[in-house]
């Protein structure tokens, strides 16, 4: 399966996804929006919310290789006022690289959603013991314990993007050298 990425007007992701589901043959191409769980505290309770992982983007999983996909979807992309463009590496390379797709798949559940991860901070190091970030501490760039989030680095369509995902730090252990 190939993955393609559409750049859409912000806030129009769901509308574009639903329109594509109606217009495309879902045996060939399936649009989806990568999602993430967000944790936040309201009225003293920690709650979860689902939000787009990449606001302004809709992904399409398809059995069609690049040129065939372009021929199949070009009309839809051009006729929609909410789709800005199809992201490409070059004029001939339009599908997401397999390594980028696999990294994203390794973080997401079956609904293309990155769930909450859980970790412990020991000194200045984070150890993630549960969730999609387990074993991937190297992609974590920053942790905000109060907002229950981590800033991670993901490569998408050749660009390194910093994305905020949910990370619950259950314990902070001071560094032994302090």
Residue 178 lies in a domain: no
CATH number of domain containing 77: 3.30.70.940
Which residue, 64, 80, 67, is CA-closest to 22?
80
User: Does a structural domain hold residue 95?
Assistant: yes
Q: What are phi and psi of 92, to 5 degrees?
A: -105, -15
- pLDDT tens-place string over residues 76-124: 888 889 999 999 998 889 999 999 999 999 999 999 999 999 999 888 8
pLDDT, tens digit, 9 for 90 and up, residues 138-151: 899 999 988 889 99
Distance between CA atoms of 147 and 174, rounded to whole angstroms?
Answer: 20
Query: pTM of the full predicted structure?
Result: 0.88
Question: What distance, in Å, lies between the first and last C-alpha atoms of the chain?
Answer: 51
**Per the structure, how many domains does the chain have?**
1
Whether 6 maps to a domain, the answer reads yes
Q: Domain range holding 90?
A: 2-173
Q: How far apart are CA 163 and CA 154, in angstroms?
A: 7
CA 71/CA 60 separation, integer angstroms: 14
In a domain, 74, yes or no: yes
């Amino acid at each position: 399966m190939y993955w393609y990425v559409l750049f859409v007007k912000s806030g129009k992701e769901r509308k574009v996804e639903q329109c594509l589901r109606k217009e495309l043959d879902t045996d060939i191409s399936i649009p989806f929006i990568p999602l993430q769980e967000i944790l936040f505290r309201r009225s003293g309770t920690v709650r979860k919310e689902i939000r787009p992982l990449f606001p302004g983007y809709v992904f399409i999983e398809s059995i069609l290789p690049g040129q065939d996909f372009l021929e199949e979807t070009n009309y839809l992309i051009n006729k929609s006022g909410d789709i800005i463009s199809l992201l490409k590496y070059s004029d001939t390379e339009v599908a997401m690289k397999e390594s980028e797709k696999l990294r994203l798949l390794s973080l997401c559940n079956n609904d293309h959603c990155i769930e909450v991860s859980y970790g412990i901070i020991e000194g200045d190091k984070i150890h993630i013991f549960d969730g999609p970030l387990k074993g991937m501490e190297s992609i974590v760039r920053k942790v905000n314990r109060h907002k229950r989030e981590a800033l991670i680095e993901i490569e998408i369509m050749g660009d390194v993007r910093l994305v905020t995902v949910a990370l619950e730090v259950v314990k902070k252990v001071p560094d032994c050298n302090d």
